[in-house]
Amino acid sequence: MTNLLLQVLFVIFPLILYHAWFRSMISKETGRKTAFTVVCAVSAVICMTNPIQIFPDLMFYITTVPWVIAFAYGGMMVGLFVSLAMGLCLGLSMVTDLSYPLPIPIYFIAYGFTLVIIGLFHLRRWLITYRFASIMILTILNTSSLLLAHWLIHPSFTHDLLPLYLCYISLNLCCAWLSAYMIEFFIERDRLMAEVQRSEKMKVVGQLAASVAHEVRNPMTVVRGFLQLMHDSPETSSRHRSYILMMLTEMDRAQDIISEYLTLARPTADHVSLVNVYKILASVKDSIIPYAIMRNVHIIDREQPGEYWVHGNEEKIKQVFLNLIKNAIEANPAGGTVETNIERIKGHLAIVIKDNGVGMSKEQLETLGMPFYSTKEHGTGLGLMVCYNIIHALGGKILADSERGMGTQFTVLLPESKPETVEDAAG
């Protein structure tokens, strides 16, 4: 029993240590991945070198759990480095007194087979989309393949130790579930903290916009008026007229930035009504198709025509879709595709906008929606911040998923409404 608890502790404690302490101390994503690799590798190696001895030919250890967790939460590179550490540990056992109940090549075959399945899951992005289920399936697959190899080599154990075989699988599954649940808890905690910080920043920016924007816009309007008069005057030389035109362009850009600030300061849920998201999305795509063609980007419609109702302001929802689709088009500098889709998920409508452009790093994802942060050369970051503000005011949220070189996916989640609910309320 003591060895059993130690095996669980070897897996759980390093993960808790990493998420509760190391992760918050490391700001760079590369540093976090390195630390996570070390944590999973150390956990796996310790489990391998301290097995639960049942009989001379039967040992239990839960190395599968940190190995699968490394792939699920760290990515393929982290998982492969952990696999390398485990392979070195198995190789060293050939020249040391450490023994295993199976021939060393069998372990390489069993883990190699599971690694092929992990690669398939990675290509189909199941490790991200269905992370919990993937962890459970891969854990069962790996432990079952090891037990099958044990049965083939030691057939005499088949009937007598079948309960222990099942216990071994259950132990790995429980530990995998506990590890994944704990990691998801820490991820959700960090997300909520980041959301609180974002809300505070947006509140400060909104207050700043309300107090300053109008006062800045008034003198700028006067200046722009006189510049326009000078530009239209026949006494102005063509050289000076080109300079004035540049000033007018920059003045208009400054006006646009101030308008975005004012959008932050104004309530975003005025004139709420029942609107069909499908029609809004179709209207936005119709208006932006010329821009997409100009940049050699093809917009693909994945959504099925239908009734997708939400309570919201049609113009503001249109503003969100227009901003996100425009960003997706601009994320394809050499041309590409932008896919849109609408799905129903647990009482919400998920409006998905996906591109196959340059993608973003995790550091960039964490700063999305912050004022003055933009991945575009001349961007202000206020456009996306306005989108977050609008959707948040409607009781929804925006989720972003991206990977360098693989593209970006934005998912707008809004509470779904039914036309009859409005009729009932009116009655």
CB within 8 A of 411, min separation 6: which ones? 350, 351, 352, 353, 398, 399, 400, 401
Higher pLDDT, 193 or 206: 193
Handedness of CA 363, 369, 373, 377 (dihedral sign): positive
* For residues 303-308, average pLDDT: 88
Give the pLDDT confidence score for residue 196 in this predicted structure: 78
Cβ neighbour number for residue 254 with a 10 Å cutoff: 14
Give the lowest-confidence range in 37-46, 64-73, 114-123, 363-372.
363-372
| Separation between Cα atoms, residue 253 and residue 232, nearest integer Å | 20
- At 315, the amino acid letter reads E
* For residues 228-234, average pLDDT: 88
Would you call 180 exposed, middle or buried from its count of C-beta atoms within 10 A (0-12, 13-18, 19+)? buried
Would you call 137 exposed, middle or buried from its count of C-beta atoms within 10 A (0-12, 13-18, 19+)? middle
* For residues 181-208, average pLDDT: 78
| Separation between Cα atoms, residue 82 and residue 73, nearest integer Å | 13
Confidence of residue 140 (pLDDT cuts 50, 70, 90): very high
Checking if the pLDDT of 426 tops 50, the result is no
Give the pLDDT confidence score for residue 423 in this predicted structure: 46
Checking if the pLDDT of 149 tops 50, the result is yes
Confidence of residue 328 (pLDDT cuts 50, 70, 90): very high
Of 291, 409, 407, 408, give the one whose Cα is nearest residue 352. Answer: 409
CB within 8 A of 70, min separation 6: which ones? 36, 37, 40, 41, 44, 78, 79, 81, 82
| Separation between Cα atoms, residue 133 and residue 124, nearest integer Å | 14
Checking if the pLDDT of 414 tops 90, the result is yes
Give the pLDDT confidence score for residue 372 in this predicted structure: 54
Confidence of residue 83 (pLDDT cuts 50, 70, 90): very high
Mean pLDDT over each residue of the chain, to the nearest integer: 82
Give the lowest-confidence range in 105-109, 285-289, 375-379.
375-379
CB within 8 A of 339, min separation 6: which ones? 299, 300, 302, 352, 353, 354, 355
The phi and psi torsions of 312 (rounded to 5 degrees) equal 180, 180
Residue 403 gets the label, from left (phi > 0), alpha (psi -120 to 50) or beta, of beta
Checking if the pLDDT of 167 tops 90, the result is no
Give the pLDDT confidence score for residue 280 in this predicted structure: 93
Confidence of residue 24 (pLDDT cuts 50, 70, 90): confident
Higher pLDDT, 424 or 149: 149
Confidence of residue 420 (pLDDT cuts 50, 70, 90): low
Give the lowest-confidence range in 50-59, 155-164, 370-379, 394-403.
370-379
Checking if the pLDDT of 205 tops 50, the result is yes
Residue 2, both tokens: 């003591």
The phi and psi torsions of 62 (rounded to 5 degrees) equal -110, 45
Please report, in angstroms and rounded to a whole number, the separation of the first and last CA atoms in the chain. Answer: 65
Give the pLDDT confidence score for residue 422 in this predicted structure: 44
Give the lowest-confidence range in 238-247, 248-257, 343-352, 365-374.
365-374
Checking if the pLDDT of 94 tops 80, the result is no
Cβ neighbour number for residue 403 with a 10 Å cutoff: 16
Q: What is the pLDDT of residues 208-219, one digit of tens each?
A: 666 666 677 778
Strands 407-415, 348-355: pairing is antiparallel
Under 8 Å between Cβ of 398 and 411: yes
Under 8 Å between Cβ of 29 and 362: yes
